[in-house]
Amino acid sequence: MHLPIALVLLLCASAGAVADEFTIGFAAGRPLHPGERIAATAGLAQYACRYARQPAVRFAVYIPRSRAAGDALPVVFASHGTGGRPAAEAALWEAAAEQHRFIVVCPGYWSAFADPVDAGIEQRLSHDKAMLGDIARRVLGSLDVDRSMIMHSGVRNGSIPIWDIALRHPEVCTAVSLRSGTFWTGGRTPWSRAELAQAGSIAALITHGDAESGDAAAGYLKSVEFFTRTLRSESFLRTVLPGGPQTTTTAPLAAWFVEDLRPRWLKRAMRRLQAARKARRWEAALAAARTVLRIAPPDGSEREKAAQAIAEIEAAATSAIGELDERAPTADDWRAGAATWAGTVAGRLAAERAAPMAAEELQEVLDAPADALAAALQRFIDRWRGHAVADEAFAALDALARPELDQARSLPVDGGRVPALHRVADRFSPSAAADDARAEIDGIGLTMLEATLLMKDPARRAKLLEEFGAQFAGTLVGERARLALGAVTAPR
């Protein structure tokens, strides 16, 4: 069956756990295998994304060369507009990222190519949420970032996914900035009144040039009028920039995020530091203290308090690890010490002491019976996540999975291939082979969905969409089938 290329491109999105991927991503839930990690190398790099609408679409990451060793930097997730590309958007932020020292991450949002009143906007937003969760999991799990300073930014129609994130997931969004944002053009919005009501506490800045014109300007003005009236928040700011449309100007947004909001970030960091110390959550206390040192004024009392906190935590860590060393510590003891005092000199020492014991444990795991080896490797990876020895376990798990993946691929599509691929994905996750199995499931599911949506009989189409949604439940393909079923069965 030859399908129209436009429909293929429309549906060319990977499946994934819609509800969980976003939450897992920003919580840095499951461990990253080596192929998923983001290199901590300064400059611009591009990475393939499992949720890309087309294989050629990659997300871009810019790490400033001005970054000092050990710096946990803020992050800006920036969306391009219609017709834009992640790498080009990242390049617009480069100078500002160097000046203000923050990391830039540019996904390829599907909803940036839409209008908020489009019938398919919820499908696009659902896709983008899963994609962003996957990207965030990789970025936050690979790089030292300041999770208390995360801004989402968009230009033109790239504002649509940004507002969706801010309104529906404010817990992962400390600030929003938009360049000539056209996130509402009249009529209905994808967001409920309750979602709009909670946006009043979000720090938001929208900029536009003094020479905006045409449909874009009209959409922008409608957006500003609507959200100014709806949000009723002093945190929602509008700035007019001289010199034309100004859709490529990012410097004012970066300065607002890092400099103008500095008192807000400092106050929050001091509160986190106090709460973490009281709860004896030392890693969180260290992160808060280092944020304070990075953003507090040179002569501010906050710097002295943060430096004192770091010194006290380092001293407590040294004492605790020293006492541990005087006993006969096991691998579990060293691993727990490294986790408790992560980020301290003594915590790194504990990790070094744990390494040879972990290597011995891995050898024992590799001697497990063949039918129990995958589960044993998964437990080992979860137990030793963040330690170098886990990479050896990742490699062993992937090597174990490859023959079963090849066997699953050899089956006919209508002869058990999908269930076999599901078994590989479930049994051997996290591994590159499991990711490959999921990608193939995605492709098969999309082909099936394409054929279903082309059916002319509404009743037959609805029945198959219902079955299809059940078969691919919990995936983006299944979610797309559910939304398409709603469109078919909705009263006219």
Pairwise CA distance, residues 434 & 55, whole Å: 18
Query: Are the C-beta atoms of residues 209 and 247 closer than 8 Å to each other?
Result: yes
Q: Which pTM was predicted? A: 0.80
pLDDT digits (tens, 9 = 90+) for 396-420: 999 999 999 999 999 988 788 888 9
Instruction: Delineate the domains of the chain, giving CATH numbers in brackets.
Output: 15-260 (3.40.50.1820), 265-362 (no CATH), 368-441 (no CATH)
pLDDT digits (tens, 9 = 90+) for 231-285: 555 556 667 666 555 567 898 899 999 999 999 899 999 999 999 999 999 989 9
Mean pLDDT of 389-398: 93
Structure confidence at residue 454 (pLDDT):
76
Structure confidence at residue 80 (pLDDT):
85
Mean pLDDT of 158-177: 81
Query: Token pair 């770091």 is at which residue?
Result: 310
Question: pLDDT-based confidence at 5, cuts 50/70/90?
Answer: very low
pLDDT digits (tens, 9 = 90+) for 426-459: 899 888 899 888 878 877 777 777 777 777 788 8
Question: pLDDT-based confidence at 169, cuts 50/70/90?
Answer: confident
Question: pLDDT-based confidence at 22, cuts 50/70/90?
Answer: low
Mean pLDDT of 273-302: 92
Residue 182, C-beta contacts closer than 8 angstroms, at least 6 positions apart: 156, 157, 159, 216, 219, 220, 222, 223
Pairwise CA distance, residues 423 & 434, whole Å: 9
pLDDT digits (tens, 9 = 90+) for 105-138: 999 887 777 665 566 677 777 778 878 888 888 8
Question: pLDDT-based confidence at 19, cuts 50/70/90?
Answer: very low
Structure confidence at residue 247 (pLDDT):
66
Mean pLDDT of 177-187: 70
Structure confidence at residue 14 (pLDDT):
33
pLDDT exceeds 50 at position 101: yes
Query: Are the C-beta atoms of residues 195 and 168 closer than 8 Å to each other?
Result: yes
pLDDT digits (tens, 9 = 90+) for 455-479: 778 888 888 878 777 766 656 566 6
Pairwise CA distance, residues 19 & 476, whole Å: 9
181: DSSP letter: -
Structure confidence at residue 7 (pLDDT):
26
Higher pLDDT, 209 or 148: 148
pLDDT digits (tens, 9 = 90+) for 24-61: 556 655 678 888 889 889 999 999 876 655 544 689 99
Supply the angle between the helices 432-453 and 458-471 in degrees, to the nearest 10.
Answer: 170
Residue 200 in tokens: 């009043």
Q: What is the DSSP string of 12-52?
A: ------HHHHHHHHHHT-SPPPGGGPPP--SEEEEEE-TT-
Which contacts qualify for 230-233: CB closer than 8 Å, 24 or more apart? 230/196, 230/199, 231/196, 231/199, 231/200, 231/204, 232/200, 233/199, 233/200, 233/201, 233/202, 233/204
Range with the lowest mean pLDDT among 91-95, 177-181, 324-328, 334-338?
Answer: 177-181
Question: pLDDT-based confidence at 93, cuts 50/70/90?
Answer: very high
pLDDT digits (tens, 9 = 90+) for 347-356: 999 999 999 9
pLDDT exceeds 90 at position 359: yes
Average pLDDT, the chain: 80
